[in-house]
Chain A
C-alpha cells in the first residue's frame, strides 16, 4: 500500500507539532508564575492605597469630591482601551476582548459611535489586528508596553491617559481586559478608568469607621486626595495590564495543553489506522504467497 508511507510521515509531523505545543505550554507555565508573582506583589500596595482613599472620602463626608479626575461634566467623547497581547496562540483570549469592544460599540456607546465620538486604543498587536479585521478604526496602539513590563513604563501611559481626560479630550475612559482568576479562568472585564470612581465596600467600612474621626491629615484632606487619586489611577491601570498579562499566559497554557492532548489523540488514531493498514497489507501478501504455492503444488 502506497499510503503507508504517507501515514508514517503524517504521524511524524503530528508528533513534532505536539512537541512544539508541549514546549509552548511549559514556557507559558513559567511565564505565568512570574506574572502571577507580579500581581501578588502589587496587591498589598493597591489594597492599602484603596483603603487610604476610602478613609479620605469618608473624612470628606461625601463621595462628591472636587478633583480634576472626577466626573462632573456630561460625557461627550469616550475612549475605549482594549488590552490584548502581542502574541497569538492563546485560545479566545484576544478574540474575546475584540468581541467585547465590538459589543460595547453596538450597545452602550452606539450613539457616540455613530457620531464618531468613540476612540479605541489597543494595547497589544493582536488587538490592533483583531479590531481592524472588524473594521473598527484603532486610533492608537502601544505594543512596546509589554517588553519588560515595569511600573514606571505603565505609569507614563496612565499619565498620558489621565492628561487627555483632564484637558477635556475625553470625558470617559474605559478599560477592556481579561482579569486573572486562575490559570484556566479569565474573566473579561469592562472597567471604568476615568472619571474616577471610589468603590466603598460596605463591610470594610463598617468595622473601621469609628477610627477615622480623630485622624490627623497632613497637609490637608484635599491635598492628600490630589496626590492619592492619580496614584490610585496609575495602580489601577498597571494592575489591569498585569492581570491581562497573567491571563494571557494562563490562556496560552490552557490552549497549548488542549493542543497537546489533541495531538496525542490524533497520533493514537493514526497509529491504529496505520497498524490496521500494515496488517491488511501483510495479510494480503501472505494470501498471495499461499495461493501461489497452492497453485504450484496442484499443478
Chain B
C-alpha cells in the first residue's frame, strides 16, 4: 500500500509500506493492507512507518489529517521532526 506524508513545505515520505501506525485524535490506530476508506484527524504524536524491507521510521507530528482510500494513504501533517 502506498503512503505519502506531506507537510506544507515538503514531501516527507512517499513509497510502499506494510504497516502505518497513526496518532488519531480518537486514539492511535494502525493501517494495514485493504483498510476501509476513512478520513481522520490526527493528534500530536508519532507516525510509525514499516516498509516492506523491514525498515521502521518514525515521524513526530503536531497534528494533521489522514485520508485512506483503496490502499492509498495520504497524511497531511502540520509540522514534523524526524525521530
Inside 8 A of B4's CB, which chain A residues have their CB?
44
Asked if B26 lies at the interface with its beta carbon under 8 angstroms from chain A, I say yes
CB-CB under 8 A from B8, the residues of chain A are: 41-42, 45, 151, 235, 238
Q: Are B39 and A219 in contact (CB under 8 A)?
A: no
Q: Report the Cα distance A38→B11, complex, angstroms.
A: 11
Within 48-69 of B, Cβ neighbours of A (below 8 Å) are at 63, 65, 67, 69
Q: Does B1 contact A (CB under 8 A)?
A: no
Interface flags for A193-235 (1: CB within 8 Å of B; 0: not) read: 0000000000000000001101111110001100110010001
CA distance A52 to B29 in the complex (A): 20
Q: Which residues of A contact B70 (CB under 8 A)?
A: 211
User: What's the minimum C-beta distance from B43 to chain A, rounded to whole angstroms?
Assistant: 10
Within 8 A of B (CB), among A30-53: 38, 41-42, 44-45, 48-49, 51-52
Q: For residue A51, which residue of chain B has the nearest CB? A: B67
Tell me, yes or no, whether B41 is within 8 Å of chain A by CB. Answer: yes
Other-chain residue from B9, B36, B76 in contact with A216 (beta carbon distance below 8 A): B36
Chain A positions within 8 Å of B11 at CB level: 41, 44
Instruction: Write out the residue numbers on chain A whose beta carbons fall within 8 Å of the beta carbon of B38.
Output: 215-218
User: How far does the alpha carbon of A56 sit from the alpha carbon of B57 in the complex, in Å?
Assistant: 30
Q: Are B39 and A227 in contact (CB under 8 A)?
A: no
CB distance from B61 to the nearest CB of A (A): 13
- B76 near A48 with CB under 8 A, answer yes
The CA-CA distance from A216 to B7 in the complex, in Å, is 23
Q: How many residues of B contact A (CB 8 A)?
A: 26
B65 touches A218 (CB 8 A): no
Taken together as a complex, chains A and B put the C-alpha atoms of A227 and B78 apart, in Å, by 11
Contacts of B71 in A (CB 8 A): none
Enumerate chain A residues within 8 angstroms of B41, measured Cβ to Cβ: 218-219, 223-224, 227-228
Across-interface contacts of A216 in B (CB, < 8 A):
36-40
**A49 nearest CB neighbor, chain B only:** B76
Inter-chain contacts of A151 with B (CB < 8 A): 7-9, 79
Q: How large is the interface on A (under 10, 10 to 19, 20 to 34, 35 or more residues)?
A: 20 to 34
* Contacting residues, chain A, for B74 (C-beta < 8 A): 48
- A211 near B26 with CB under 8 A, answer no
* Complexed CA–CA distance, A212 and B39 (Å): 10
Determine whether A152 belongs to the interface, using a CB cutoff of 8 Å to chain B: yes
Q: How far is the CB of B19 from chain A (nearest CB, A)?
A: 18
A128 to chain B, nearest CB (A): 27
Residues of B within 8 A of A178 (CB): none
Contact B40 A217 (CB under 8 A): yes
Q: Tell me if A55 counts as interface (CB < 8 A to partner B).
A: yes
Residues of A within 8 A of B65 (CB): 49, 52, 224, 227-228, 231
Chain A residue at minimal CB-CB distance from B26:
A219
Sample of 22 A–B contacts (CB below 8 Å): A38-B9, A42-B8, A44-B4, A44-B6, A44-B11, A45-B6, A45-B8, A48-B67, A48-B74, A52-B67, A212-B37, A216-B38, A216-B39, A217-B38, A218-B29, A218-B39, A219-B40, A223-B25, A227-B65, A228-B41, A231-B76, A238-B8
Chain B interface residues toward A at CB < 8 A:
4, 6-11, 24-26, 29, 36-41, 63, 65, 67, 69-70, 74, 76, 78-79
Q: Which of A's residues lie within 8 Å of B, judged by CB? A: 38, 41-42, 44-45, 48-49, 51-52, 55-56, 150-152, 211-212, 214-219, 223-224, 227-228, 231, 235, 238
Q: Identify the 3 closest CB pairs spanning chains A and B, nearest first.
A: A218-B40, A216-B38, A151-B8
